[in-house]
Structure 1
Amino acid sequence: MRRATAIGKKVKAKSSSMKDLISESKSYDREGKIIKAIRAQNAFLPEESKFKKYQKMAQSPYIFYRGTNHLFWQDFAGSWRLHQFGGSSWSRTWLQGDSHVYNMGAFKHQGENVCFGFDDFDDSLVADYQYDIWRFAVSIVLDCWDRDLNNSDEIDSALNTFSRSYLLNFRKTIKSKKLFEKRFTSANTCKPLASFLNKTQGKSSRRKMLEKWTSGEQDRHFQLNSEKVRALDIPRREQLIDALANYRARRNKFMGLEQTDKPMEILDVVERLGAGTGSLGNRRFYALVRDIDKQTEDHDFILDIKLQGQPTAYGYLSEEETKEYNDNFASHAVRHADAYTALSDFPDHHLGWVSLENESYSVRERCPYKRDFDTSKLSSKEFLLMAAQWGEVLALKHRRAARRLNRNQDSSPLEKKLKDIAENHLWEFKFFIRSLAQPYAQQVRRDWDAFRLNADTLVAQ
């Protein structure tokens, strides 16, 4: 008994020195961790850019979601959920990395019709295909809420349509030629999307873009606008022009491509301001360029030069995945170019990269036809048509990228496995996506509420 009493006294003495594990605990402080993560993610931004970004994010849970891709990766990277329908070497492909409804839109490059698909590869990387599906599915829920559609059954119907469309596309065997030539145009897409693509084709052109952004003809130059572009000081201007002068030749040499002598004249360079949501505040430039050997109205175009940091997911990858990334890409801008080549419908002949002050910048043509697809006026029926279209587009991108990654134009392990899942586990796959998307969207809304309560404090720090 004495021994027991002594032990009891020791335990009591130890207990009296313990901290309060309930009221003082930060273990489950989601709000505090969210605010800390947002603060860290945007610490490098100037106060003005930070203010503009936070203003955008405060508008709705969906815009907040678009501006906080890092929270998605923080919550899902390496999740046990991956292993139900992937989580293995076969399930890896090039990802868009920030997939959501408004990251698919219209675009057009050299000699093609206006197409629909991804045209933003800043966050692209090689990882499990499910990350793109999960993030896109959550965005479907948030987009519905933005349109005041709150009926859970209707939202589930859209999620079912999206996931079913994605998976069933892998039941079909597609020959290499057809797979790599397929485009989503007004000729082969659903009615609301076809109408949008036709309008974009009719309303947009390179000449209209140049009239919006530039002045003059022979001595064409950018129109300075304090909200969108501003002039560069002379040292930065000269540095950028020097970097661009031979970027195509350096790119071709690095990639082992045939050297082509296509002279170009750089007419003007400016800094681009206020673009994007997640990338708002990142250093970005526009260059006005003239192809000297072209004698048509298309001989002038705009290059978009954008600072490329590590993709958002990078900070949440496993040690093995981080090493693979570092071993395979000479810079973040080279990774961007590789992703663009793997995921895009056709090449941008101006795609490349430059180095400025030891930082890597992607180079690509500013597309005159780039335009977001507005979902705000869609009927319930039209939204379901678009959900099926989004699933089909995402499946094609993943499938094509997996073959390129596998260095096999005819097939890939990803296709074979997803064909089996489509044939034998379609119901379970749809249920899984539903059970993930709506609850996580609700968490995004709670995180958004916490953000709005702390937004003023975040700007000041």
Structure 2
Amino acid sequence: MLKYISAIAFILILILVFASPVQAATPRSTWVENEIYQYNHPFASQLPQELATKMQKMTVSPFAFYRGTAHIFYRDMHTLPNSGFVNSSTSAIWLEGDMHLQNLGGMRDSNDNNVFDTTDFDEAYLGPYVWDLRRMAVSILLTAKENGLSSSDAQDILRNFLDAYLNKMSDFKGTNDELSYRLESSNTNGVVKDLIQKASNNSRSSLLSNYTQLNKSNNRVFQTTSELQPVSNSTYSDIAGAMSSYITSIPSNKRYNDSYYTLKDIRLKLGSGTGNLGKYRYYLLIEGPSLAADDDRILEMKQEGSSAVAIAVPGLLPTSVYGNQEGSRVTIAMKAMLSNTDPLVGYTTVSSITFMLHEKSPYQVDFDYTLLTTKSKFMDAMGYVGKVVAKNHAISDKDYDAAIIPVSVDKEVTDIVSGNKAAFKDEIVNFAVDYATQVEYDHRSFVDAYNQGVTLY
């Protein structure tokens, strides 16, 4: 069945291309209020305080709103015409799904390489490659404006991002270089190099001291804070009972001894991120490689629902690929788009809720776009971001699993854009300019509704 994905995808894209387009950027207050309510209301009964935090965070700026409303973006992708640079081979590739500047960061991979890469795959799904580019492009324009850069400078920065993406895809074409490609301190500069070095200077002991403490019996347990809350006995028992299926989800060649996964403590983690606020997120303290108290590991356990991308192309990724387990979908995507993936990544189900688990790494630091205070700093950083997105797309094609993506995405993208780079960049830039304006309208509508006490979840 999977070999027919591309053909089905192309038909879906043709439908999208000839769909009635949404009007150019315009206020749509009632529609925005309804979309936000419909998306968030299903979580209102489980963590209403987290949804209140989410709504407050989204009032801060258009970019903060954009981070929290990927579902609106993909509702629009369902109706807006698609790119003229998409064909059957490029209409169903692995997408990160929520490409924006704060889903990137410095990290250490499982081979101890300190790198700059993508940090979040909750919305990963199949779709046209341009959707990742569009979403990042809008993010670039919104954050550049927030940082005080002019519109013309922001568009130059965006074009540099697109050039870097296309050039790196062209480099990958006809080679296997993407399989070993990484951005390290040796081939980066500026804010990105500083970020990689900052992440590499972190330590496990500092992470453990931030979140845990030794009790009277000299056993390590979590601290209790406003963001780390104890769970009920029944929740603790349910999560403990789901650990065996989590361990089984890890490939046998990546699996440690059972004692490594011994559960020592659990906390409900509050206040993290924006888009996922309202979903359950737990920190799990496990034994790690020895009985010593200084090498314990922290797992982040995130509730996963269906990808927002699926709003635009429902069913494009067959549920058989991921066993109808959304945590498995995220796990597969992470392995597809990252090299030397965290060996603790896996998934489980607790009380019919699907979760993805991975290590809360001491060596991960989120990208801080507020440091991009000049055009040159922003240009430099977005060049590296373009390379990361290209690597994501190139490494996750037939190189990862030809049953899901049967083509060489780097070849297909390079060929379809070849000779038309200027037109391609113009198309993405024009989209991003219009859509960034739409986000600003939508944010204003949201803030007005929030201040008027409209029920938003």
Aligned partner of 2:15 in structure 1 is none
Aligned partner of 1:313 in structure 2 is 309
Q: 1:357 aligns with which of 351, 354, 374?
A: 351
- 2 CA distance for matches of 1:193 and 1:281? 31
- Whether the aligned pair in 2 keeps the contact of 1:283 and 1:306 (CA below 8 Å) is yes
- Whether the aligned pair in 1 keeps the contact of 2:145 and 2:154 (CA below 8 Å) is no
Q: Which amino acid aligns with 1:192?
A: V
Q: Which amino acid aligns with 1:328?
A: V
Give the secondary-structure state (helix, strand or coil) at the position aligned to 2:187. Answer: coil
- Among all aligned residue pairs of Structure 1 and Structure 2, give the percentage whose two residues are the same amino acid: 26
Q: TM-score, normalised by structure 2?
A: 0.86
Deviates more, 1:71-80 or 1:337-346: 71-80
How far apart are 1:42 and its partner, in Å?
1.1
The 1:169–1:109 alpha-carbon spacing in structure 2 relative to 1, beyond 3 Å, is: closer
Aligned partner of 2:398 in structure 1 is 403
Give the secondary-structure state (helix, strand or coil) at the position aligned to 1:244. Answer: helix
- 2 CA distance for matches of 1:241 and 1:87? 47
Q: Which amino acid aligns with 1:251?
A: S
The 1:458–1:123 alpha-carbon spacing in structure 2 relative to 1, beyond 3 Å, is: farther
- 2 CA distance for matches of 1:223 and 1:158? 43
The 1:177–1:420 alpha-carbon spacing in structure 2 relative to 1, beyond 3 Å, is: closer
Q: Which amino acid aligns with 2:280?
A: R
- 1 CA distance for matches of 2:296 and 2:176? 33
- 2 CA distance for matches of 1:259 and 1:141? 43
Aligned partner of 1:54 in structure 2 is 55
Q: Which amino acid aligns with 1:172?
A: D
Give the secondary-structure state (helix, strand or coil) at the position aligned to 1:81. Answer: coil
Asked if 1:232 is matched to 2:231, the reply is: yes
- Whether the aligned pair in 1 keeps the contact of 2:33 and 2:456 (CA below 8 Å) is no
Aligned partner of 2:28 in structure 1 is 30
Which blocks of at least 5 consecutive residues in structure 1 are unaligned? 1-27
Q: Which amino acid aligns with 1:417?
A: E
Give the secondary-structure state (helix, strand or coil) at the position aligned to 1:187. Answer: helix
Asked if 1:294 is matched to 2:290, the reply is: yes
Q: Which amino acid aligns with 1:186?
A: S
Q: 2:205 aligns with which of 201, 204, 207?
A: 207
How far apart are 1:136 and its partner, in Å?
0.2
- 1 CA distance for matches of 2:415 and 2:129? 15
The 1:341–1:258 alpha-carbon spacing in structure 2 relative to 1, beyond 3 Å, is: closer
The 1:270–1:313 alpha-carbon spacing in structure 2 relative to 1, beyond 3 Å, is: same
- Whether the aligned pair in 2 keeps the contact of 1:160 and 1:434 (CA below 8 Å) is yes
Q: How many residues are aligned here? A: 423
Which blocks of at least 5 consecutive residues in structure 2 are unaligned? 1-25
How far apart are 1:71 and its partner, in Å?
0.8
CA-to-aligned-CA distance 1:219-240 (integer Å, 9 cap, x gap): 0000001x21111111111121
How far apart are 1:406 and its partner, in Å?
5.0
Across the aligned residues of Structure 1 and Structure 2, the Cα RMSD in angstroms comes to: 2.5
The 1:405–1:199 alpha-carbon spacing in structure 2 relative to 1, beyond 3 Å, is: closer
Asked if 1:147 is matched to 2:144, the reply is: no
Q: TM-score, normalised by structure 1?
A: 0.86
Asked if 1:385 is matched to 2:380, the reply is: yes
How far apart are 1:274 and its partner, in Å?
1.4
- 1 CA distance for matches of 2:167 and 2:255? 42
Q: Which amino acid aligns with 1:444?
A: V
Q: Which amino acid aligns with 1:288?
A: L
Q: 1:368 aligns with which of 362, 365, 368?
A: 362
Q: 1:280 aligns with which of 272, 277, 282?
A: 277
How far apart are 1:443 and its partner, in Å?
0.9
Aligned partner of 1:98 in structure 2 is 98
Deviates more, 1:336-345 or 1:86-95: 86-95
Q: 1:431 aligns with which of 403, 410, 426?
A: 426
- 2 CA distance for matches of 1:400 and 1:29? 39
- Whether the aligned pair in 2 keeps the contact of 1:105 and 1:371 (CA below 8 Å) is yes
Aligned partner of 2:114 in structure 1 is 114
Give the secondary-structure state (helix, strand or coil) at the position aligned to 1:64. Answer: helix
Q: Which amino acid aligns with 1:377?
A: L
- Whether the aligned pair in 1 keeps the contact of 2:242 and 2:350 (CA below 8 Å) is yes
* Matches for 1:218-257 after TM superposition, within 5 Å: 218-225=218-225, 227-245=226-244, 247-248=246-247, 250-252=248-250
* Matches for 1:438-449 after TM superposition, within 5 Å: 438-449=433-444
- Whether the aligned pair in 1 keeps the contact of 2:107 and 2:196 (CA below 8 Å) is no
Q: 1:335 aligns with which of 325, 329, 332?
A: 329
Q: 1:325 aligns with which of 318, 321, 330?
A: 318
- 1 CA distance for matches of 2:345 and 2:61? 34
**Greater Rg by CA:** 1
Aligned partner of 1:9 in structure 2 is none
